[in-house]
Amino acid sequence: VLANLLLEPANPLSISVVLDKAVVDGDKKTIPMKIMIPVNSLKLIPDKGEYAAAFTVFITIGDAGGNGSEPSRQEQSFRWSEAAVAQVKGKTIGFAVSLEVSADRDRVSVGVLDQYSGAAGFTRTMLQ
């Protein structure tokens, strides 16, 4: 995730980010962000009549020099019935986070690791 602050990120999972309007408080701002993960990019594992999916999200906030914050890590898992899987195929999961950003940081790098397939996708975006 840190390297993607400067390098063009590889994105086989086709993840994307959506930033909402920043809330400014002095020299810091809080930016709501959704990480969009296509369900079709995740490996679904059949398990006892249901399907399991799991991924880990990594986030770092950086500057133009490639300096980044310590990456944060959050894990998420789902269990869906067969009927629910049919409904979510072709849709996107929105994973919401709130970024706390200091004035010297201007970009965010996001990585998502599918825990079952081992595939990873990365993206980065400039902060407003």
Query: pLDDT digit string (tens) for 34-70?
Result: 999 999 999 999 998 899 999 999 999 999 888 999 9
Task: Please choose, from the candidates 54, 56, 36, the residue with its C-alpha nearest in 3D space to the C-alpha of residue 96.
Answer: 36
pLDDT confidence of residue 16: 97
Give me the pLDDT at residue 112, please: 98
| Biggest CA-to-CA distance, the chain | 52
Q: What is the predicted pLDDT for the residue at 7?
A: 87
Residue ranges of the chain with pLDDT lower than 70? none
Tokens read off for 63 = 């500057």
pLDDT at 125: 95
Say what the pTM is. 0.93
